[in-house]
Amino acid sequence: QVQLVESGGGLVQAGGSLRLSCAASGRTFSIWTMGWFRQAPGKGREFVAGIRWSDGWTNVADSVKGRFTITRDNAENKLYLQMNNLKPEDTDVYYCEKRLGTIHTDDRDYNYWGQGTQVTVSS
């Protein structure tokens, strides 16, 4: 099985920064992708960013491009999301997710996810 544990969420003022972390353990695959999604109450999960673990190729949503950066630490099996210049509309629960294969932007294509971490940006 795969376990994903997110951390780093919190309350921040608009224009501030947060760094989310995701610790991954359990089963690994030859080719896999990890990604960040976010979800507001009553809405579906929105793709934020993804990284292909083997070569570090990334895909970042247009809504956060230039403000958010996704990185990984192979040795520690950790995923990060550096979020800068945060806006109130970035307020959501953020989920770390994992899938076999390359980056997909549809949450339904992911097999594993964590419990989520709340990010709240005040205006």
Q: For residue 29, name the pLDDT band (cuts at 50, 70, 90).
A: low
Residue with tokens 């294969």: 101
- Whether the pLDDT of residue 96 is over 90: the answer is yes
User: Between β-strands 92-100 and 117-122, what pairing exists: parallel, antiparallel or unpaired?
Assistant: antiparallel
State whether the Cα torsion 17-58-21-38 is positive or negative.
Answer: positive
Which pLDDT score, from 0 to 100, does residue 27 have? 73
The better pLDDT of the pair 64, 29 is held by 64
Residue 32 binned pLDDT confidence (cut-offs 50, 70, 90): confident
Confidence (pLDDT) at 75: 86
Per the DSSP assignment, residues forming a β-bridge with 23 are: 5, 78
State the pLDDT confidence band at 30, using cuts at 50, 70 and 90: low
Return the closest-CA partner of residue 79 out of 20, 17, 1: 20
Q: How big is the CA angle at 47 (ends 102 and 42), to the nearest 5 degrees? A: 140
- In 8-116, beta strands by DSSP E: 10-13, 18-26, 32-39, 46-52, 58-60, 68-73, 78-83, 92-100, 112-113
pLDDT-derived band at 20, boundaries 50, 70, 90: very high
Average pLDDT estimate for 48-57 = 94
For 3-21, what is the mean pLDDT?
97
